Amino acid sequence: MASLKNSWLSRVGIVVLAAVMVEILSIMQYEHVQQALLEETDLRSRVVMNSMAEEIQHTLERTEIIMRENLWDIKRSMAHPDSVFGAVVRLIDDDRNLVGGCLAFRPYFYPSKGRLYEPYASLQPDGTIKVEQIAGPDHDYTLNEEYLWVLENRSTSWTDPYKYGPDSLSFTTYLIPIYDEQGAIEAVCGLDIDLSWLGDTLNSRQPFPSSFGLLLTPDGELVAGPSQSRTPEEEVKQVLDVLNGHIPASDLPGVSFTRTRLFKDPFWQVVEVYKKDEIYARVRRQRRQQMLFIVLGLAILAFMINRYARNERKLREASEEKARIAGELAVAHRIQQQMLPKTFPPFVYGSLEPALEVGGDLFDFFTRDGKLFFCIGDVTGKGVPSAMLMSVAHSLFRILSQKTDSPARILESMNHELNRGNDSNMFITFFVGCLDLYSGELRFSNAGHDKPFLVNGAISLLPSKSNLPLAVFPDTQFEEQTYTLAPGTLLLLYTDGLTEAKNVVRKTFGRPRIQEVLERFRNNPDQTLCCLVTTLSEAAHAFAGEAPQSDDLTMLALRFEPDHNRSEQITLVNKESEVTRLGTFVKDFLAPLELDKKLASGLRLALEEAVVNVIYYAYPVGEQGEILINADTNGKEVRFTITDCGYPFDPTTVLKPDTTLDAQNRPIGGLGIFLSRKLMDSISYSRIGHKNVLFLTKNIL
């Protein structure tokens, strides 16, 4: 859980880091571009303003030129005071920018006109020109500063802009001194120029919708500006306040200015005002787009990291899973191998080599009551499913073979259990045998398995009838056969992993090759079974060569070696008095073994109690029956076999009496079989054909 959280955190961390880096880069770039844009705008506006200033200058100069050129007309008209009007009117007519003109004569220039004389022509809104003499007591031009300035400096001059009234147009007046032949100033000619066009010219080619141009006097007074419709008056006033230092520039943070001034009189300033927002608008738009792409890119990055991490996790999980499965298979292999017999008596040997880690083959054996129970089996297929089914079969064999000596019954019960819920359609070939180690009698039943090899004088196959394999049908009947092995007979059981071991050209090992090995073995009887099995395995592997092992290879070899030194038997009838003969028989049989008195007496007692039980209960009252008693020993073990043809009765199922009761409550009978069981190592019952067979065994070492 912690690592999951960590990996999640690290993934988020990478994306956040990338986002921060990209954002820093973007901000740097943005600042840089903003700065560049500001500079660029400034430069551009300077260029525009300069051209604008030049244009204004040029217009003003042209006005100057026109006026100077027309001075001769004025001068000529000055011969007569009233003709001056006509000259001024002609001047106005000539220049569209002129809206008025006047001549302010030196006092008493025309004696007939008095001290002051100032003829004035002005363009009226209807296009007509009105002429009048405007000098008088309330308009004494000799007191006018600019008039005086021209007289004093003998130079032309532009007045500051002015208005006649609140609704009047803005004007400026160009003042020209008019000299006589001696160079004295006779009059000052003033030409009124409408300045509204300046504002229009300045604002006709603005780079941004809300930028605007201003024309100011050197003192910062507004000459011309944008129309009201373009820029509110208030805004212009604020800008003027900043420009004139009435309020600090920080009060208008979003506004930028560029100034330039006319290089000669009237030295007006051209100011370009623009809003930073508008300059940056494009780059801001670009930045928004850029952000969109960055976010998209980061999302893709996050997605990719996530995918990568997920793939990596899946890969890791897959490899962990693989390792886990390999580990589990190794354990399964160990378990399966551990279930197989590890120690072998000299008369049995088996081996199992799975093709994969786990296999669907099996062999097993154990001895009980002087009998060797053994089996070999092969589940269809190989690998884990086969192994699991085989494990079930193995357990069933182990459990069921404890209860009966009959291979057919064992197979039937196994088959019944294996058919329960067997949806996998797998089946098992199985061979079960039970070899009496004293007599060599082999009882066996074959569920579809390969016939074992029988090696005695000759090499042949055990004549076994094939029944259906296990787990095919639940009600299969298995036929049981018997075959008596002569001393020294070898039985070799195997799975098709041996016969069908394939080489690279797909040829199989086959029975003839097995037969060759068996032939050599037969001629060399000192060889152990282990040696035989190993030789066969090596031969199969050598034959297969480079070809991989295609199936589990399993073999089980056993040899009947009767090692008992004595076997005796007696037949009794079902009479109590026969017990005396039985006593003598047992004592005689045991005497050569020179057993401890207590042990010998116990063996006798156990046999007597078991036989008495048969005498009393096996046959109907009054009916005579025979009881066959076999006594066998190999010097290590004593085995009694009691055979009768009476009612089927398994004395091993009789309940154990309560040996703790007091005398009054103790039942008189029921003690016999209990004593037998106590005194022997094992007692087992088999119903073979119509006979009850009871085996009693005891280790005497």
Partner 1 sequence: MTTTIQETDERIIAVLSGEMDTAAAAQVEKELQPLLDSKGKEIVLDCKELEYISSSGLRVLLSILKQAQCVGSRVVLKNVNDVIRDVLDISGFISIFDVE
Nearer to partner 1, 399 or 671 (CB): 671
625 near partner 1 (CB under 8 A): no
CB contact set of 422 (below 8 Å; sequence gap of 6+): 471
Exposure pattern of 257-272 as b/e (b: 16+ CB <10 Å)?
Answer: bbebbbeeebebbbbb
Nearer to partner 1, 505 or 663 (CB): 663
The one-character DSSP state at 664 is G
For the chain, the straight-line distance linking the first and the last C-alpha, in angstroms and rounded, comes to 63
Of the residues 608, 632, 637, 644, which one makes contact with partner 1 according to CB under 8 A: 608
Tokens of 232: 């509110």
Give yes or no for a contact between 74 and 121, defined as CB atoms under 8 angstroms apart: no
Of the residues 669, 689, 690, 701, which one makes contact with partner 1 according to CB under 8 A: 669
Count interface residues toward partner 1 (CB under 8 A).
Answer: 30
Task: Work out how close the CB of 701 gets to partner 1 at its nearest, in angstroms, rounded to a whole number.
Answer: 19
The one-character DSSP state at 449 is P
602 near partner 1 (CB under 8 A): yes
Footprint of partner 1 on 444-483 (CB under 8 A) = none
Tokens of 499: 């016969």
Nearer to partner 1, 167 or 576 (CB): 576
The verdict on whether omega for the bond into residue 266 sits within 30 degrees of 0, i.e. cis, is yes
Of the residues 583, 626, 628, 654, which one makes contact with partner 1 according to CB under 8 A: 583
659 near partner 1 (CB under 8 A): yes
Of the residues 249, 666, 691, 699, which one makes contact with partner 1 according to CB under 8 A: 666
Give yes or no for a contact between 628 and 571, defined as CB atoms under 8 angstroms apart: yes
578 near partner 1 (CB under 8 A): yes
124 near partner 1 (CB under 8 A): no
How long a stretch of residues is the chain? Answer: 701
Nearer to partner 1, 27 or 661 (CB): 661
Q: How far apart are CA 608 and CA 590, in angstroms?
A: 14
Of the residues 343, 664, 689, 701, which one makes contact with partner 1 according to CB under 8 A: 664
605 near partner 1 (CB under 8 A): yes
Nearer to partner 1, 318 or 671 (CB): 671
Nearer to partner 1, 355 or 579 (CB): 579
Q: How far apart are CA 184 and CA 475, in angstroms?
A: 153
In the three-class reduction of DSSP (H, G, I as helix; E, B as strand; rest coil), residue 620 is classed as coil
Task: Work out how close the CB of 582 gets to partner 1 at its nearest, in angstroms, rounded to a whole number.
Answer: 8
Nearer to partner 1, 587 or 691 (CB): 587
609 near partner 1 (CB under 8 A): yes
594 near partner 1 (CB under 8 A): no
698 near partner 1 (CB under 8 A): no
Torsions phi, psi for 629 (to 5 deg): -120, 125
Task: Work out how close the CB of 668 gets to partner 1 at its nearest, in angstroms, rounded to a whole number.
Answer: 5
Task: Work out how close the CB of 577 gets to partner 1 at its nearest, in angstroms, rounded to a whole number.
Answer: 5
651 near partner 1 (CB under 8 A): no
Exposure pattern of 290-303 as b/e (b: 16+ CB <10 Å)?
Answer: eeeebeeebeeebe
Task: Work out how close the CB of 615 gets to partner 1 at its nearest, in angstroms, rounded to a whole number.
Answer: 8
678 near partner 1 (CB under 8 A): yes
663 near partner 1 (CB under 8 A): yes
Give yes or no for a contact between 139 and 147, defined as CB atoms under 8 angstroms apart: no
Q: Which stretch, 116-124, 375-383, 481-489, 672-680, contacts partner 1 (CB under 8 A)? A: 672-680
Nearer to partner 1, 496 or 578 (CB): 578
Task: Work out how close the CB of 663 gets to partner 1 at its nearest, in angstroms, rounded to a whole number.
Answer: 4
545 Ramachandran zone, left/alpha/beta (phi>0; psi -120 to 50): left
162: which strand partners?
A: 171
Q: How far apart are CA 190 and CA 591, in angstroms?
A: 171
In the three-class reduction of DSSP (H, G, I as helix; E, B as strand; rest coil), residue 613 is classed as helix
Q: Give me the residue label for tokens 């394939």.
A: 502
656 near partner 1 (CB under 8 A): no
**From the CB of residue 648, how many other CB atoms can be counted at a distance below 10 Å?**
10
682 near partner 1 (CB under 8 A): no
266 near partner 1 (CB under 8 A): no
Task: Work out how close the CB of 600 gets to partner 1 at its nearest, in angstroms, rounded to a whole number.
Answer: 9
Torsions phi, psi for 385 (to 5 deg): -60, -45
Task: Work out how close the CB of 661 gets to partner 1 at its nearest, in angstroms, rounded to a whole number.
Answer: 8
Tokens of 74: 């004025």
598 near partner 1 (CB under 8 A): yes
CB contact set of 333 (below 8 Å; sequence gap of 6+): 354, 357, 358
Binding string, 547-576, against partner 1, x = CB under 8 A? Answer: -----------------------------x
660 near partner 1 (CB under 8 A): yes
Degrees to nearest 5, angle at CA 683 with 678 and 689 = 155
Task: Work out how close the CB of 659 gets to partner 1 at its nearest, in angstroms, rounded to a whole number.
Answer: 3
Angle between helices 384-400 and 276-339 in degrees, nearest 10: 30
612 near partner 1 (CB under 8 A): yes
Sign of the Cα pseudo-torsion (320, 325, 329, 331, in order): positive
Nearer to partner 1, 236 or 614 (CB): 614
Q: Which stretch, 247-255, 421-429, 451-459, 669-677, contacts partner 1 (CB under 8 A)? A: 669-677
Give yes or no for a contact between 417 and 475, defined as CB atoms under 8 angstroms apart: no
Nearer to partner 1, 342 or 597 (CB): 597
Q: How many helices (H) and strands (E) does the chain have?
A: 15, 26
The one-character DSSP state at 115 is S
- Cα separations (Å) of 692 from 146, 648, 654? 158, 6, 15
701 near partner 1 (CB under 8 A): no
Of the residues 604, 618, 640, 683, which one makes contact with partner 1 according to CB under 8 A: 604
In the three-class reduction of DSSP (H, G, I as helix; E, B as strand; rest coil), residue 652 is classed as helix
Exposure pattern of 23-58 as b/e (b: 16+ CB <10 Å)?
Answer: eeeeeeebeebbeebeeebbeebbebbeebbeebbe
Of the residues 577, 653, 655, 690, which one makes contact with partner 1 according to CB under 8 A: 577
Q: Which stretch, 76-84, 93-101, 168-176, 667-675, contacts partner 1 (CB under 8 A)? A: 667-675
Of the residues 580, 621, 623, 655, which one makes contact with partner 1 according to CB under 8 A: 580
662 near partner 1 (CB under 8 A): yes
Task: Work out how close the CB of 676 gets to partner 1 at its nearest, in angstroms, rounded to a whole number.
Answer: 9
State the residues that interact with partner 1 by CB under 8 A. 576-580, 583, 597-598, 601-602, 604-605, 608-609, 612, 659-664, 666, 668-669, 671-672, 674-675, 678-679
